[in-house]
Structure 1
Amino acid sequence: MKKFNVYTCVLAAAMMTYSCKPDMDLNNPQELSIDTYYKTPAQLEAAVIPAYQALIGKVQGGYARSFYYELLAPGDDFNHTFKWEPMYQDTYNTPSSDGMASGSWKDMWNGIFAANMAIDRINAFTGHIDDKQKSRLLGEAHFLRGLLYMHLVMLFGETVPLIKTPVKSNADYYPTNSKPGEIYALIISDFQQAADLLPLRSDMYSNAAFIGRATKGAAQSYLAKAYMYRPILEVGKPAEFAKAQEQLKKVIDSKEYSLVNNFRDNSLEATENNPESVFEIQLHNGPGWLGDDMSDSWRWQEIGIYDGTGGAWWNLAPNKKTYNEFEPGDPRKYMTLFCDNGAYYTQIDGKVTNYAYWMAHLATNKDLYGTRKYCPDKQVADFDNGINDRLLRYADVLLLYAECLNEAGDAASAKQYINMVRQRANLVVPSEQPQLWYQHSPGTIPGVDGLLAKDTTINGIRLNNIKNIIQHERFVEFCGEYQRYFDLLRWGMADPKWLEPLKAIGWTPKAMYYPFPQAELDNNKNLTGNAMNH
């Protein structure tokens, strides 16, 4: 999927206005509409593509740009820098007029509309289509609708509208709020149907054109994640660990996935869609950077290398707490951050720069760091790059499974899966920059029992039990991968101590979600905003 075209004009064409035409019964056979499209299997294939594209963000509301601010900034691990004042996403005071939140709202709804249309048209298709193809397409559409709704609820809360069918009349453009639990039920149902309908990764990827598409393992993994995210998706309800554990075991037992030896392979363009990838956003840097290339990422420019280096903007950055979370001897620190004793960065003019250079050219915020993960070590000619965001890795499956086992009282088994991730972190990385010590020597972080024996306290959390160790391991393993804020929220709904790191930087329960865009509320009088709108 890395290179296939993710654009379609079908929905736009189907909603063209006719107000300027004379009042005559004319029919243009070349004009696309809902009634004249979706007539062949190839057109059904095209129908699911806009839902994938929505996650990238055609109006820059997805992973191409907005999401790395909206999903990272509210956590305790990233801060906005002096380069962006004011930036609201980490202040818990985002106004309803904020353009970034509005863009994400639009992109996610565009994707849901596309997924609804695809589900409707595939189910209604009466032509000849292979049963496996039809099942796969339906599975993809259900998976994408579930994932898009999951993002919407994580951002805006569970009272966003519930829309399960294509728009059929003007009244459908003005839905009301959903009721508590309705969207969580839809997300679960969509991922369940996708898990039943989609093929295994090995089957899907046997066709090179389908590499990167949703698979059975992706649907099972996200179904498990939804069960564990229930305190966020259906506020006041507990996580469903036993159900999640069942799905995660299916993914593990499938033998479709494995940890790659090189941790850094999970953030390089050359090693995308590797055996550890369960689902990732397929990004591609084309010839342009604004307007004509909407499948790329601005991440390196905006949150990557320090200001003063290669013209970078450096608007959002990992903070000192994040830097301190890594244990001594953990190579992941240097594969995640641009920091002291870490990787070098090469500017487009060929100048090789290091930490001393960055600090000498940085005006302020010298207690923040660069983001190396998903960012190139060499400056590219334009603002964007095509490194895929790995939304769900097998390491996540293993740590979520360990969490479920621990919740079930099986701490001994949980240790095994945590150790798999920690042991991989210690492996030598021969492909790394030669000055980095772990290019020729292994890391030295201990296994779980060794960590328990050390009884270490990191950032105020004593690592003397499995839950606290899982918290720590998820922090360092997935730093910069959009997990931290939502981990703290879901744990905090059950045990308020996990909300303390957020409260210390200004978070309140009211600020759990971003406000509904004011333009949407102005346009739709049937819709009421969330707590942040009041």
Structure 2
Amino acid sequence: MKNIFKKAAAVGITLSVITISCKKSALDTVNPNAQTTETFWKTSDDAVKGINAVYGSLIIDGSYMRFTPVVQNTRGDDCVSNSPWDQIYNMGKFNMASSGDGVLFSWTAYYQGILRANEVLQYVPAITMDDALKTRVLGQAYFLRGLFYFHLADFYKNVPMPLTPAESSADYFAKQVPQDQVWQQVISDFTKAKDMLPISYTSLNSVDNQIGRATKGAAMAYLGKTYLFIKDYTNASTQFKAVIDQGTYSLMPNYYDNFFLNAENNQESVFEVQFSRDAGGTDLGWGGDPSSGWGRTSARAVTFGAASFGFGDVQPSTALYNEFLQEKTTAGAVDPRLDVTMYYNKPGEKLYGVSFATAYAGSSSLNALWCHKYENGDTGQTNEYDWRSGINERLMRYADVLLMYAECLNELGNTTQAYSYIQQVRSRVGLPDLATTKPGMSQAQMRDQLAHERFLEFGLEGHRFDDIRRWGWLQDATKLAMLKARDPEFNSYVPGREYLPIPLTEIQTNANVTQNTTY
């Protein structure tokens, strides 16, 4: 999969040139050095290069290189931000301006990816090539387009939804559609993808057999997650159970192995974004047309990195730390996920080879909490200031499938059956049998238990705010008061701010788009 991104930059430049095909006048001349839709989409190699470029939109700034993790994490009560940059500082305080880069970065990145996916879906079907390879390429395009629209609906709510490349200037101004219509398109794309994608690529003797490409299991898991977001628990349950029954995935014995370089693309990973310090150039991919100097690295580690070692723009919350201390393991120890999730001042703690107590002696940071997940402090690096991390971002883990399936069971009235799926996740870290410690929970009690389990299992992984919003906590006075007590950033929340503003540039350019309420 790392090889996908070695080729993606160059083909991305090509695809940005061939976006529009207009009628030629008598005065038009053809530049023999520039590819167009008529000259590019001819061979199976073109098809693979095209889908590689779609993957390339996952590793630019507005996507998973930096700003998608910022958007996802800062708004949950598992994280806080004291960043000096207002585009991060205000994100978790529900105070983003429509004119800011922070709301524009992800918008731009995802529509770039959608454009590229639409081109693949438009032009690859006419290419004469191996049918099985063509099916896999198209399946990946459907999956990635579904993922991009998933994020747009999740971040911005009602958005434009182009499904084909623009053919004229009139097509530039796509109409904004309601969120529920976007969710239905996401469901359609993931459904098509699951029927076209293989369970694995490792046995394929083909040009697209890299580990890391979208699989049938990834499509089913995201399809289930989409159904879960719209509260269709029956269909969500069906998809999650299909992933479980497929038998491809299992929990890693060591929780630590899901967040660092040592065990990427492991048995728990359903889908992850591939980063590498060894692919491409050394420049960061800030978006727009790719440069030949771009690397394939992530800036998450330096952005979330501890003060003096990184920028410290995002930190774990005290609420998350305290919740880890609520329950001991069967051996009487602290939940081991705490130390994997965050750095804090405990005996023997080190950051990038330096004693925590020594690094922050006499500083307010001595009692601070800092992110550990996705940091390079365990690799021998002395700091994160070169901005170049090769750690893959795990978007979907099997643990998430298990807990989402348990949630569906509970919502469908099968609370007793939910216990065993939750316990698989608890047992991995040595926590006692929930059926023994909390037998016979009601549906409402199990909802709260699942919220606790997800809080600890997925801290700093960008799931928490999505959970809070879909559970209706922002509209529940008691739950909202709890969030405000745990995380003062929620004191500035007002209804409607659970979504980001539509970027001002889009509002000014496209008369078919209206701003979200309260902005």
Do the aligned residues in 2 keep the contact of 1:399 with 1:417 (CA within 8 Å)? yes
Q: Which moved more, 1:469-478 or 1:8-17?
A: 8-17
Q: Secondary structure at the match of 1:167?
A: coil
Do the aligned residues in 1 keep the contact of 2:413 with 2:443 (CA within 8 Å)? no
* Residue 334 (1) aligns with residue 339 (2): yes
Do the aligned residues in 2 keep the contact of 1:320 with 1:367 (CA within 8 Å)? no
Using the TM superposition, give the Cα deviation of residue 219 of structure 1 relative to its aligned residue in structure 2, in angstroms: 0.2
Could you report, residue by residue, the CA deviation over 1:407-439 in whole angstroms, capped at 9, with x for unpaired residues? 12222221101110111112xxxxxxxxxxxxx
The whole-number CA distance in structure 1 between the counterparts of 2:421 and 2:214 is: 25
Using the TM superposition, give the Cα deviation of residue 75 of structure 1 relative to its aligned residue in structure 2, in angstroms: 1.1
Do the aligned residues in 1 keep the contact of 2:146 with 2:187 (CA within 8 Å)? yes
* Residue 39 (1) aligns with residue 42 (2): yes
Using the TM superposition, give the Cα deviation of residue 210 of structure 1 relative to its aligned residue in structure 2, in angstroms: 1.9
Alpha carbons of structure 1 residues 390 and 290: separation in structure 2 relative to 1, 3 Å: closer
Using the TM superposition, give the Cα deviation of residue 123 of structure 1 relative to its aligned residue in structure 2, in angstroms: 2.2
Alpha carbons of structure 1 residues 412 and 16: separation in structure 2 relative to 1, 3 Å: closer
The whole-number CA distance in structure 1 between the counterparts of 2:270 and 2:347 is: 29
The corresponding residue for 2:108 is 106
Alpha carbons of structure 1 residues 210 and 501: separation in structure 2 relative to 1, 3 Å: farther
The corresponding residue for 1:465 is 445
* Residue 478 (1) aligns with residue 464 (2): no
Do the aligned residues in 2 keep the contact of 1:452 with 1:465 (CA within 8 Å)? no
* TM-score after normalising by structure 1: 0.85
Using the TM superposition, give the Cα deviation of residue 101 of structure 1 relative to its aligned residue in structure 2, in angstroms: 1.5
The corresponding residue for 2:354 is 353
Alpha carbons of structure 1 residues 25 and 95: separation in structure 2 relative to 1, 3 Å: closer
Match of 1:261 among 253, 259, 262: 253
| Amino acid in structure 1 at the alignment position of 2:339 | Y
Do the aligned residues in 2 keep the contact of 1:115 with 1:142 (CA within 8 Å)? yes
Alpha carbons of structure 1 residues 453 and 113: separation in structure 2 relative to 1, 3 Å: same
Q: Secondary structure at the match of 1:330?
A: coil
The whole-number CA distance in structure 1 between the counterparts of 2:372 and 2:411 is: 33
The whole-number CA distance in structure 1 between the counterparts of 2:444 and 2:238 is: 27
* Residue 530 (1) aligns with residue 516 (2): yes
Do the aligned residues in 1 keep the contact of 2:344 with 2:367 (CA within 8 Å)? no
The answer to which structure has the higher helix fraction is 2
Using the TM superposition, give the Cα deviation of residue 493 of structure 1 relative to its aligned residue in structure 2, in angstroms: 6.8
The corresponding residue for 1:429 is none
The corresponding residue for 1:149 is 149
Q: Secondary structure at the match of 1:406?
A: helix
Matches within 5 A, 1:327-476: 327-328=327-328, 329-341=334-346, 344-345=349-350, 347=352, 352-360=353-361, 362-363=363-364, 368-377=368-377, 378=381, 379=383, 382-426=386-430, 445-452=431-438, 465-476=445-456
Do the aligned residues in 2 keep the contact of 1:334 with 1:343 (CA within 8 Å)? no
The corresponding residue for 1:288 is 282
The whole-number CA distance in structure 2 between the counterparts of 1:38 and 1:176 is: 28
Q: Secondary structure at the match of 2:276?
A: coil
The whole-number CA distance in structure 2 between the counterparts of 1:256 and 1:510 is: 40
Do the aligned residues in 2 keep the contact of 1:176 with 1:528 (CA within 8 Å)? no
Match of 1:319 among 312, 317, 320: 317
Runs of 5+ consecutive residues of structure 2 not aligned to the other structure: 286-292, 329-333
Q: Secondary structure at the match of 2:80?
A: strand
Matches within 5 A, 1:107-122: 107-122=109-124
The whole-number CA distance in structure 2 between the counterparts of 1:206 and 1:333 is: 42
Identity across matched positions, percent: 34
* Residue 278 (1) aligns with residue 258 (2): no
The corresponding residue for 2:499 is 513
Do the aligned residues in 1 keep the contact of 2:119 with 2:164 (CA within 8 Å)? yes
| Amino acid in structure 2 at the alignment position of 1:266 | N
Using the TM superposition, give the Cα deviation of residue 463 of structure 1 relative to its aligned residue in structure 2, in angstroms: 12
Using the TM superposition, give the Cα deviation of residue 375 of structure 1 relative to its aligned residue in structure 2, in angstroms: 0.9
| Amino acid in structure 1 at the alignment position of 2:322 | N
Q: Secondary structure at the match of 2:167?
A: coil
Do the aligned residues in 2 keep the contact of 1:259 with 1:395 (CA within 8 Å)? yes
Could you report, residue by residue, the CA deviation over 1:264-286 in whole angstroms, capped at 9, with x for unpaired residues? 11011121100100000111225
Alpha carbons of structure 1 residues 247 and 63: separation in structure 2 relative to 1, 3 Å: same
* TM-score after normalising by structure 2: 0.87
| Amino acid in structure 2 at the alignment position of 1:72 | N
The whole-number CA distance in structure 2 between the counterparts of 1:55 and 1:501 is: 35
Using the TM superposition, give the Cα deviation of residue 26 of structure 1 relative to its aligned residue in structure 2, in angstroms: 3.5
* Residue 67 (1) aligns with residue 80 (2): no
The corresponding residue for 1:433 is none
Using the TM superposition, give the Cα deviation of residue 524 of structure 1 relative to its aligned residue in structure 2, in angstroms: 1.6
The whole-number CA distance in structure 1 between the counterparts of 2:468 and 2:72 is: 13
Could you report, residue by residue, the CA deviation over 1:304-360 in whole angstroms, capped at 9, with x for unpaired residues? 22x13x3x211110010010111342101001111133774454xxxx323322442
The corresponding residue for 1:93 is 95
Using the TM superposition, give the Cα deviation of residue 298 of structure 1 relative to its aligned residue in structure 2, in angstroms: 1.6
The whole-number CA distance in structure 2 between the counterparts of 1:52 and 1:343 is: 40
Do the aligned residues in 1 keep the contact of 2:143 with 2:190 (CA within 8 Å)? yes
Using the TM superposition, give the Cα deviation of residue 299 of structure 1 relative to its aligned residue in structure 2, in angstroms: 1.8
Using the TM superposition, give the Cα deviation of residue 178 of structure 1 relative to its aligned residue in structure 2, in angstroms: 0.9
Alpha carbons of structure 1 residues 453 and 255: separation in structure 2 relative to 1, 3 Å: closer
Using the TM superposition, give the Cα deviation of residue 508 of structure 1 relative to its aligned residue in structure 2, in angstroms: 2.2
| Amino acid in structure 2 at the alignment position of 1:130 | D
Do the aligned residues in 1 keep the contact of 2:284 with 2:297 (CA within 8 Å)? no
Q: Secondary structure at the match of 2:339?
A: helix
Do the aligned residues in 2 keep the contact of 1:154 with 1:513 (CA within 8 Å)? yes
Using the TM superposition, give the Cα deviation of residue 23 of structure 1 relative to its aligned residue in structure 2, in angstroms: 7.3
Do the aligned residues in 2 keep the contact of 1:268 with 1:387 (CA within 8 Å)? yes
Using the TM superposition, give the Cα deviation of residue 381 of structure 1 relative to its aligned residue in structure 2, in angstroms: 6.8
The whole-number CA distance in structure 1 between the counterparts of 2:135 and 2:176 is: 31
The whole-number CA distance in structure 2 between the counterparts of 1:362 and 1:62 is: 34
The whole-number CA distance in structure 2 between the counterparts of 1:412 and 1:212 is: 35
| Amino acid in structure 2 at the alignment position of 1:446 | P
Do the aligned residues in 1 keep the contact of 2:159 with 2:179 (CA within 8 Å)? no
The corresponding residue for 2:289 is none
Alpha carbons of structure 1 residues 300 and 123: separation in structure 2 relative to 1, 3 Å: same
The whole-number CA distance in structure 2 between the counterparts of 1:488 and 1:194 is: 28
Using the TM superposition, give the Cα deviation of residue 154 of structure 1 relative to its aligned residue in structure 2, in angstroms: 0.9
The whole-number CA distance in structure 1 between the counterparts of 2:385 and 2:93 is: 33
Q: Secondary structure at the match of 1:67?
A: helix
Do the aligned residues in 2 keep the contact of 1:82 with 1:315 (CA within 8 Å)? yes
Could you report, residue by residue, the CA deviation over 1:134-158 in whole angstroms, capped at 9, with x for unpaired residues? 111111000000000000111111x
The corresponding residue for 1:459 is none
